[in-house]
Structure formats: structure tokens, C-alpha cells
Amino acid sequence: MKKQYLLSILSLIIFGLGNAQNYKKPLVSAIKETDLRKDMYELAADQFWGREAGTLDELKVSMWLADKTKEAGMKPAGDNGTFFQFFDMYRHLIIPQSSLKIGDNQLKLWKDFLVAEPVNANIDSEIVYAGTTEPEDLSKLNIKGKILAINASDKNIDKEMTLFIRRYPGFVRTKYYNKALELGAKAIIFITDDISEKSWVEVLPQMTRGAYGVEGLREKVTNNIPVLWIKKENANWVKNNPKISLNLITETYKYPSVNIIGKIDGTDPKLKDEYVLLSGHQDHDGIRHPVKNDTIYNGADDNASTCVAMLAMARAYKKQPGKRSILFVFHGAEERGLLGSRWHAVHPVVPKEKIVAVLNGDMIGRNDNNEAALLGGNAPHKNSEELVKMAEDANNESTKFKYLKDWDSPSHAEYFYFRSDHLPYAKAGIPAIFFTSVLHDQYHTPQDESENINYKKLYKMTEWMYRTSWKVANEAERPKVISNFTLER
């Protein structure tokens, strides 16, 4: 009896080993660092003027990408037999006819005051100046039906993050907003401190651009209360309970953006109808204020790095296809709020249930050669045990990155898990992970250029993504979603 039991166990082990090895090894040799470098210097070149979503520059680079996907061996998988999935992006912004009068002072929009987000408002009220009051003490003031004016405070705001000065006004807003809304304030006026004073020149282009969305998917902001900024030199405007008249008017403009989508068919008669989705975004920040005498935000690492990696992986899959098909989606308008991935997650070019997993890359070409992050690799962001194990096994086979696990923590200051194109797919119930070599001090600056890419690192990250995708494409069982998975943010 014992002998028969041992023989049964042994046969199961042998079967398992045989089943795990019933497909070819990934063709890593087809991935060339020279290809990555050549494509990078073209894609992140000045000729595309920073590839800003909704501009002709994004459409120009989309044509370049469509040509490159065809050269790499992909078939068109976009609309009407093309590589293109067009969608409309909507820009909501404050128009110049908006006005603000405090006491006897008629203020000029974008010069005397900033508007943090586009909301319609017509308010005649009184200002309550709260000085340096912290959020927990606002309830001691009578601000219901009035406008709260308060000095910006960095207390309890984590400063250990990339582009802290640029992002600081948003954190100040978050710190006070919900409490002020709960107490019935009609609007908030923040008075700059030293940090937000420095940020004025950086946030001005962001605020004048407004907010972006896609039809049917725009977050509800119509019920938000206005958030304004004035400089500390003008703090006297809001002291002593002056009357205020605020009239904010928004308009909406429509722009085209596009996802570039190609595929390489699988070889298995049944499994080729299932898809492994490889994801990156093609757009960046366009032309903005100068940093070190440069105004073109080329976005080499963010995110030409993943785009050229996807082209390299396509060449490998063309030479040696997997059992499942590979769907390559170069998302548009990621920098405007994940618009391309949000659109495709709702309007996929293949049936949603046929997408077995999403492997997204964003910023995979910088920092230490031996360190990287797998976001969605740990609870509470992990939504598939099997998919994460495939990525970990792929790493153990060759690249052997040390994981920067803190970047996947819900308490990490960057909240980086929520900032790339895997997110809409994870929310849609599809197994999804996010490969990244994380941020650096040239992130979202004109210095993120081809010459500053670490090409050895980019090659290793490409290999890791490819090895992982190869497992997903060839294993008999597709990854499952953890049944009780939820996203809290």
C-alpha cells in the first residue's frame, strides 16, 4: 500500500514536470540592445516635440509607431483593419471671462489668482480667514456658506517624493478639502507658503490646461467646490472678512487621441483565441516651461522605454510565436489621466474575457541595474497569485532583480501603483501587473532624454517582461483573479 502511494506521488511529480516543460524556451536572443537604442533615439527625438496627447505631435508619433509595429511583424488589431483605435479626449478648462473680486480688488485670472481645477461657480459671499488653522480645528470656525481662506501648511505632508514642489499644492488641497466641504464651505482660497510660492511657475501650466477626460468616463467634478490660490504678499486681500464675488465659467473642447494596437497570433488551435496584453503609453508632456534651457519634454524613460521594449518583444514573438496570441497596446493620453487605457478597458478590440493578463511597463530604463519593482506583486494591490508567480519565476530564471517592494506599499508616498495603464484593467477584473525601474530626478523634465537611458537596465527589464509574457502565453492554465480583490484608492 505504501509502495503504491509513493509510486502515485512520483508519477504526479513527473507529470507536473513534464507539463511545465511542454513548450519551448523564450527566444531571448531575438531581443537586441542595439534595436532598443536605435528605436529610443527615434521615438524620443525632438522631432516629435514631446508627444503631447491631443496634439498633432501625438498623431505623428502614432504613425511612426504604426509603421514600426508592422515592421516588427504585428498584424493590425485596431479599428477597421488598421493599427489605430481613435478616441475623443475632452479638455475642461476655466475661460478668461471668469472673474474674482475681493473687497475693492478686481483680480486677474492666472496672474493674481490660480484656479486648481475647472468647476463652474457663481458665489457672492464672505471670506473667513483661518490663518494657520489645521484641518482638525476648522470645526471651531463658522465657515458654512462662506469661503475659507487659509495659509498653506506642509504639516503632516510627506516630502519624500519626486517633484515634490510641483505636486505640493495638490497635497495641500487634499489635506483641507474634505473637511472644508463637510463643514459647508463654498470655496477655499489658499495663501502660498514658501514651498507653494516656488511651485507657482510649475503648476500654472497644469492649471491653465484644465482637466481631461474621455466621454462617459469623466470623473464627476461638477459638484466640487472651487479651490483658488493667491500669493502670500497679497494675504491682506482675504483678511478681516471681506466680501467676495466669484464667477468661474468652464468650457469643454474635444481633441483626438489614439491607441496603437497590433497583435501576433498564437499557434495553439484553442489558446490562440486568448490574448496576453502587453501595455505601455506613447505620449508625454510636450512643450512646457524651460528647465536648464530646454523646453521639450522628450519622455525617453517615460514612456518611450516600454514602447521600444514592446517592439523588441514583438520581433521575438514574430520569430517564435507562443501558444496564446499577444496583443500589443501602445496607449495614448496616459499623461492626461490614463485616458487611452481607460478607453480600451471599456472598448477592448478583443472580447474582454479573452484577455488573460495585462503586463504593463512604465519607466523601465533607469536606476540600478540590479533593482526593479513589480507593482501589483503584493497585497493589497496583487490581483492574481498565478500571474505574480510567473513574473517572480521569470525573474529568478535570469534577470534576478532585487525587488523594491516598498513602492508597492499602499503607504508609499508616490502611490505609484495607481499612476499607470494597468490600473483600468485591474479595475475591470483582469489579472494585471506593472513593471518599473521607478522614478528618478529627471522624471517629467526635459532632461529625460535618450542619452540618459541606462540601456543595460532597459534590456534586462525588457527580458523580464518578455520571459513573464512567454509563461502567460504558453502555460495550459490562464492566471486567475483573486476572488475578493478590491482597490481601495
Give per-residue pLDDT as tens, 215-253. 755 544 567 999 999 999 999 999 999 999 999 999 999
3-state secondary structure of 121: strand
**Element of type H or E holding 166:** helix 164-182
* CB-based contact 100:228 (threshold 8 Å): yes
Sequence-ordered list of residues with C-beta below 8 angstroms from that of 33, at least 6 positions apart, any chain: 455, 456, 458, 459
Model pLDDT for residues 116-144, shown as the tens digit of each residue: 999 999 999 999 999 999 999 999 999 99
| Residue 11: per-residue pLDDT | 44
| Residue 443: per-residue pLDDT | 96
| Residue 221: per-residue pLDDT | 52
354-375 burial: b if 16+ Cβ within 10 Å, else e: ebbbbbbbbbbbbbeeeebbbb
| Residue 222: per-residue pLDDT | 60
Distance linking the first and last C-alpha atoms of the chain = 55
Full pLDDT tens readout for the chain, 489 residues: 455 545 444 444 444 444 455 899 999 999 999 999 999 999 999 999 999 999 999 999 999 999 999 999 999 999 999 999 999 999 999 999 999 999 999 999 999 999 999 999 999 999 999 999 999 999 999 999 999 999 999 999 989 889 999 999 999 999 999 999 999 999 999 999 999 999 999 899 889 999 999 975 554 456 799 999 999 999 999 999 999 999 999 999 999 999 999 999 999 999 999 999 999 999 999 999 899 999 999 999 999 999 999 999 999 999 999 999 999 999 999 999 999 999 999 999 999 999 999 999 999 999 999 999 999 999 999 999 999 999 999 999 999 999 999 999 998 989 999 999 999 999 999 999 999 999 999 999 999 999 999 999 999 999 999 999 999 999 999 999 999 898 877
**Burial of residue 297, with CB atoms counted within 10 A of its CB: 0-12 exposed, 13-18 middle, 19 or more buried:** buried
**Element of type H or E holding 59:** helix 56-71
* CB-based contact 327:350 (threshold 8 Å): yes
Q: Is the pTM of this model over 0.85?
A: yes
d(CA 196, CA 208): 17
51 backbone dihedrals φ, ψ, rounded to 5°:
55, 45
| Residue 16: per-residue pLDDT | 46
| Residue 18: per-residue pLDDT | 44
Nearest-5° Cα angle at 329, 326 to 330: 140
Cell of 154: 506642509
Q: Which has the closest alpha carbon to 420: 298, 263, 320, 305?
A: 305
d(CA 311, CA 421): 18
Beta bridge partners of 279: 329, 360
Q: What are the structural domains of the chain?
A: 23-91+256-474 (3.40.630.10), 96-248 (3.50.30.30)
3-state secondary structure of 480: coil
DSSP assignment, residue 434? E
Amino acid in the structure at residue 390: M
Measured in whole angstroms, how far is the alpha carbon of residue 206 from the centre of its chain?
A: 16
Cell of 229: 490660490
Beta bridge partners of 326: 264, 276
Q: Which has the closest alpha carbon to 115: 234, 226, 194, 235?
A: 226
Beta bridge partners of 76: 262
d(CA 12, CA 6): 10
